[in-house]
Amino acid sequence: MSSIAVLVSGRGSNLQAIIDSIENGYLKAEISAVISDVEKAYALERARKHGIKAFFIDPRKFPSRELYEQEVLKVLIDNDVELVLLAGYMRILGKTLLEAYRNRILNIHPALLPAFPGLHAQKQAFGHGVKVAGCTVHFVDESLDGGPIILQRCVEVKEDDTAETLADRILEQEHKIYPEAVKLFVENRLCIEGRKVRIIS
Ligand code: GAR
């Protein structure tokens, strides 16, 4: 069974979607660790409620990103983690984690990449006046939200939407495609070919 770690910074609704998918049998995997860079992240609470080991690692205690990531890496290795999921983790990964887990780190982003990378993607899309928004699960590499795309889902923008109502509907889709993408990964059905991810049926 695949051992997963989830890196979080906030409320953890995507973490919850993964937990639920494991508990209802959709995903054959186990979450060995949830790691947060924010002490009060509700995601840590969610992990504890489900008996999952929850770690707060304070980036301010480390003089560099490299040393901080070495500490994160130690937890990953200690817990035999094979796959790392970023779920609302608001830090850019450095080479320590990227090299240790090359092609084994996934991220969920609330926009149809490569449009609107970075922060507040839903607001960026809404402000731009797009008619179709959505979300993306992708492999993480050195680029900002630019790694090979695994799954995407569209959400239509309605005339009476606000940035918040749109973000809510995007989030509903995030909760569906993240478990789907993780399932494909743990079943060994993803094959990276350059920029493209081929899904083996
Ligand atoms: C989600 O919408 C996720 O896509 C986004 O943060 C939110 C976290 O929510 N991530 C990014 O913007 C990363 N660039 P959650 O903590 O409830 O899962």
pLDDT digit string, tens, across residues 58-98: 999 999 999 999 999 999 999 999 999 999 999 999 999 99
Query: What mean pLDDT comes out for the span 11-28?
Result: 98
- For the CA of 109, the nearest atom of ligand 1: 4
Centre of ligand 1 to C-alpha 28, Å, is 23
pTM comes to: 0.98
Best of 6, 9, 13, 137 to mutate for ligand 1, by most ligand atoms within 8 A of CB? 13
Is residue 169 lining ligand 1, measured as CB closer than 6 Å? Answer: no
The residue-averaged pLDDT of 38-59 equals 98
10 lines ligand 1 (CB under 6 A): yes
Q: What CA–CA distance (Å, rounded) separates 22 from 47? A: 13
What is the band of 18 on the pLDDT scale with cuts at 50, 70, 90? Answer: very high
- Residue 109 bears catalytic tag: yes
> 170: closest CA among 120, 118, 103, 95?
120
**Per-residue pLDDT at 57 exceeds 90:** yes
Question: Is residue 167 a contact partner of residue 122, using CB atoms and an 8 Å limit?
Answer: yes
Give the residue, out of 42, 45, 170, 174, with the most ligand 1 atoms within 8 A of its beta carbon, to mutate for a pocket test.
Answer: 174
- pLDDT at residue 1 is higher than 90: no
Read off the pLDDT of each residue in 15-24 and give the average, rounded to a whole number: 98
173 and 141 belong to one structural domain: yes
Q: Is the same domain home to 71 and 116?
A: no
Please state, rounded to an integer, the average pLDDT across all residues of the chain.
Answer: 98
Query: Which domain, by its residues, includes 25?
Result: 1-102
Q: Is the CB of 146 under 6 A from ligand 1?
A: no
* Ligand 1 contact via 87 beta carbon (within 6 Å): yes
Same domain, yes or no, for 124 and 95? no
Residue 133 Cα to ligand 1 midpoint, Å, equals: 15
What percent of the chain stands above pLDDT 70? 100
Nearest in space to 66 (alpha carbons), one of 28, 37, 96, 105: 96
Residue 24 sits in the same domain as residue 63 = yes
Number of domains present in the structure of the chain: 2
Helices (H) and strands (E) in the chain, counts: 6, 9
CATH number of residue 17's parent domain: 3.40.50.170
Query: What pLDDT, on the 0 to 100 scale, is given for residue 142?
Result: 96
User: Is 16 touching ligand 1 by the criterion CB < 6 Å?
Assistant: no
Whether 175 has a pLDDT exceeding 90, the answer reads yes
- Residue where a domain terminates, one of 38, 69, 102: 102
Note whether 61 and 153 are same-domain residues.
no
**Residue from 81, 127, 113, 128 nearest 100 by CA:** 81
Q: Do residues 94 and 49 both lie within one domain? A: yes
Of 102, 121, 138, the residue that ends a domain is 102
For CA atoms 186, 90, 92, 77, give the dihedral sign: negative
Q: Is 46 in the pocket of ligand 1 (CB under 6 A)?
A: no
Query: Is the pLDDT confidence value at 46 over 90?
Result: yes
Chain center to CA of 189: 18
* Token pair for 147: 């790694």
Query: Is pLDDT of 114 > 90?
Result: yes
Q: What is the mean pLDDT of residues 173-186?
A: 98
pLDDT over 90, % of the chain = 100
Residues 18 and 35 in one domain: yes
